[in-house]
Homo-oligomer: A and B are copies of this chain.
Amino acid sequence: MSNKNAVVLLSGGLDSATVLAIARAEGFQPYALSFDYGQRHRAELDAATRVAESLGAVNHKTIKIDLRAFGGSALTDEIDVPKGRDDATMASDIPITYVPARNTIFLSFALGYAEVVDAADIFIGANALDYSGYPDCRPEYIAAFEQMANLATKATVEGRFRFSIRAPLIAMTKAEIILKGRELGVDFSLTHSCYDPSSHGLACGACDSCLLRRKGFLTAGLPDPTRYIKMTKREHDDT
């Protein structure tokens, strides 16, 4: 057990919950960091709070930033989230749910937080398989961020430590992530993945994120604890 501090980016989804559990299992004192970035719904942030508490984060900060100021994404603008896309499309396209420079912005805040709490390790749930459409989920991006981070701060210039950007899920399938999380005691019913939930926080079951999650549980051979909307399209539109 290391007893060292680590900063863990926590979205409230099952990936980052598993990452938090991994950081704990490696003996880190996790400082969880979430962002209120003008998401269209609060379900994600509520999930992050539940997950941080249930997995024993020593601290959980939510930073308010306004990514909507730029526009350009279905996650922050009034653009329709795509539904029911097949695996091939999902894997090849850069989706409309892409938020410009999101991971770079998140990791930059994590870097500032890490310097303040003396954490050399920054954990992120980036995944290159299921989200191959996102440039900032690839190993070469993570490596480049780490290199930049080690030139950016007082902590590294003074030689106190070197930053390590840890993306333990980067080469795992969703099913492998789910099995890992289960092994480490993650309660997936607390997590939230849907890009377009109902006003009560129920998952739509059809956006890319829901499809990947459902398929992950199916492949892992585990029951999916997610509460999906059971409505017709018409009822959904009227919500």
* Chain A contacts to B: CB under 8 angstroms: 61, 63-67, 69-72, 94, 98-105, 107-109, 111-113, 115-116, 135-136, 138, 140-141, 144-145, 147-149, 151-154, 156-158
- Pick from B66, B104, B116, B135: contact of A108, CB below 8 A: B104
Contact (Cβ within 8 A) B148 A98:
no
Once bound together, how far apart are the Cα atoms of A149 and B147, in whole Å?
Answer: 12
Protomer copies? 2
8 new A-B contacts, CB < 8 A, other than A72-B115, A98-B154, are A63-B65, A63-B69, A94-B157, A101-B152, A104-B148, A104-B149, A136-B152, A141-B148
Task: Please give, as numbers and ranges, the residues of chain B lying within 8 Å of A105 by CB-CB distance.
Answer: 105, 108-109, 112
- Mostly helix, strand, loop or mixed at chain A's interface? helix
11 A-B contacts, Cβ less than 8 Å apart?
A: A64-B66, A70-B116, A100-B112, A100-B115, A101-B108, A101-B111, A104-B149, A135-B152, A135-B154, A140-B151, A144-B147
In the complex, what residue of chain B is closest to A133 when comparing beta carbons?
Answer: B154
- Pick from B66, B98, B153: contact of A63, CB below 8 A: B66
Least CB distance from A127 to B in Å reads 16
Task: Please give, as numbers and ranges, the residues of chain B lying within 8 Å of A112 by CB-CB distance.
Answer: 67, 70, 99-102, 104-105
Least CB distance from A66 to B in Å reads 6
Contact (Cβ within 8 A) B153 A144:
no
Contact (Cβ within 8 A) B63 A94:
no
Contact (Cβ within 8 A) A141 B135:
no
Task: Please give, as numbers and ranges, the residues of chain B lying within 8 Å of A104 by CB-CB distance.
Answer: 108, 111-112, 148-149, 152
In the complex, what residue of chain B is closest to A64 when comparing beta carbons?
Answer: B66
Once bound together, how far apart are the Cα atoms of A130 and B221, in whole Å?
Answer: 61
Contact (Cβ within 8 A) B113 A70:
yes
- Pick from B65, B115, B136: contact of A153, CB below 8 A: B136
Least CB distance from A106 to B in Å reads 9
- Pick from B64, B69, B116, B144: contact of A100, CB below 8 A: B116
Task: Please give, as numbers and ranges, the residues of chain B lying within 8 Å of A71 by CB-CB distance.
Answer: 116
Most B CB contacts (10 A, CB to CB) among A70, A113, A149 go to: A70
